[in-house]
């Protein structure tokens, strides 16, 4: 029996039961799609290898819900039904490994690498991506709301177990939420209630189109770590509202492009650097909360769960480096992985 009993215990998320509490974060790996943006055997094989390695939950990274929101050109496109056959093939490749398989849905907003950027307000990203985005009209906002529900329905029809909506890291949803990126004076800007309206409307559209029982996780920022941005107090206010409106789990991260803390933390940042944000959110909701941020070893993951700081832990780079990391750890091989995961770097 594994000594990591917390990490390798099952968890119920909505109607879905995951065999363990390890989530492979959605990552924009920028390969494995064809000229239409449909997933290929290359991406399928990459994800199936991580499923074979024992990860309890896996997310396909950066699925674009609308052409204006494709963050990078090498990411899956989910805005027409033509994507479904390739997604079904991917699901069938992963299914034998008893992994809960999902897709992260996102719209990059002003943080998209193309010249058709849109955002709540015509304010450029504070770093990395150049260009002033077009301010969305109310009619265009309604179109984007519908695009999240339509993309979720496609993922459900392809056989995925769940979706995660990316509302963090300075992408479109976060741009609506944060005062420093939303200067609107209509029903989508100004007050907290108005700035959260877009998020709640798209969640309602998802539930209407995919079914109230289809599991939907939401990734949110606990902190933007930038002047005038979203704060932990905001997150603590929003989290119970998201739960009330049908969220099945909350994945709590941090940072935006140009923030004081990187969304992909560097090797100089402490391990578990965002877990305190998940821990705080966990106090105000009853649904599962995912902790993330340089969680490099199974031992650290198990300790976070044991201490009640999160219900699920997310790993990214550790699973890129060693797809078999979970199975090795479950079998008691705690020296799995390279030295970069042993806490000395």
Give the separation between CA 124 and CA 131, rounded to whole angstroms.
6
Q: What CA dihedral angle connects 329, 331, 336 and 337, to 10 degrees?
A: -50
CA distance linking residue 341 with residue 178, whole number of Å: 34
What contacts 24+ positions apart, CB below 8 Å, involve 43-48?
A: 43/76, 43/90, 44/89, 44/90, 44/93, 44/94, 45/93, 47/90, 47/93, 47/94, 47/101, 48/93, 48/94, 48/97
CA distance 188 to 1: 52
What are the backbone angles phi and psi of residue 117, rounded to the nearest 5°?
A: -60, 140
Q: What is the 3-state secondary structure (H, E, C) of 143-164?
A: HHHHHHHHHHHHHHHHCCCEEE
Q: Taking a C-beta distance cutoff of 8 angstroms, is the pair 314, 292 a contact?
A: yes
171 catalytic, yes or no?
yes
Token readout for 189 is 């800007």
Strand 16-18 and strand 162-167: pairing?
Answer: unpaired
Structure tokens at 294: 């340089």
Hey, how many other C-beta atoms are within 10 angstroms of the C-beta on 99? 26
Pair of tokens at residue 177: 């939420």
Tokens of 315: 């790993």
Annotated catalytic residue within 171, 188, 225, 249: 171
**Pick from 63, 94, 95: nearest CA to 80:** 63
Residue 203: CB partners within 8 Å, gap ≥ 6? 165, 216, 218, 242, 245, 246, 247
- Active-site residues, by number, are 171
């Amino acid at each position: 029996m594994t000594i990591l009993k917390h990490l390798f215990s099952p968890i119920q998320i909505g109607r879905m039961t995951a065999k363990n509490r390890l989530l492979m974060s959605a990552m924009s790996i920028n390969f494995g799609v064809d000229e239409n943006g449909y997933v290929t055997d290359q991406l399928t094989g990459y994800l199936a290898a991580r499923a074979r390695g024992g990860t309890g939950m896996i997310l396909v990274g950066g699925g674009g819900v609308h052409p204006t929101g494709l963050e990078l050109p090498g990411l899956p496109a989910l805005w027409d039904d033509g994507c479904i056959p390739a997604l079904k093939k991917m699901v069938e490749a992963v299914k034998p490994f008893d992994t809960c398989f999902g897709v992260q849905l996102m719209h990059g907003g002003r943080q998209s690498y193309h010249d058709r950027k849109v955002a709540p307000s015509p304010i450029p990203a504070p770093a990395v991506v150049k260009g002033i985005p077009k301010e969305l009209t109310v009619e265009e906002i309604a179109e984007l709301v519908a695009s999240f529900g339509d993309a979720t329905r496609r993922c459900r029809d392809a056989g995925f177990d769940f979706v995660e909506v990316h509302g963090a890291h300075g992408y479109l949803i976060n741009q609506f939420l944060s005062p420093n990126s939303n200067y609107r004076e209509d029903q989508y800007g100004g007050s907290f209630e108005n700035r959260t309206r877009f998020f709640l409307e798209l969640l309602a559209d998802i539930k209407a189109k995919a079914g109230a029982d289809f599991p939907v996780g939401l990734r949110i920022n606990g902190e933007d770590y930038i002047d005038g941005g979203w704060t932990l107090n905001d997150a603590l206010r929003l989290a119970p509202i998201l739960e009330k409106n049908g969220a099945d789990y909350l994945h709590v991260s941090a940072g935006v492009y140009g923030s004081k803390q990187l969304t992909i933390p560097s090797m100089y940042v402490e391990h578990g650097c965002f877990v305190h944000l998940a821990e705080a959110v966990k106090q105000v909701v009853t649904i599962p909360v995912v902790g993330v941020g340089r969680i490099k070893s199974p031992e650290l993951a198990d300790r976070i769960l044991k201490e009640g700081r999160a219900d699920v832990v997310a790993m990214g780079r550790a699973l890129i480096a060693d797809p078999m990391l979970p199975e090795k750890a479950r079998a008691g091989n705690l020296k799995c992985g390279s030295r970069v995961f042993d806490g000395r770097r």
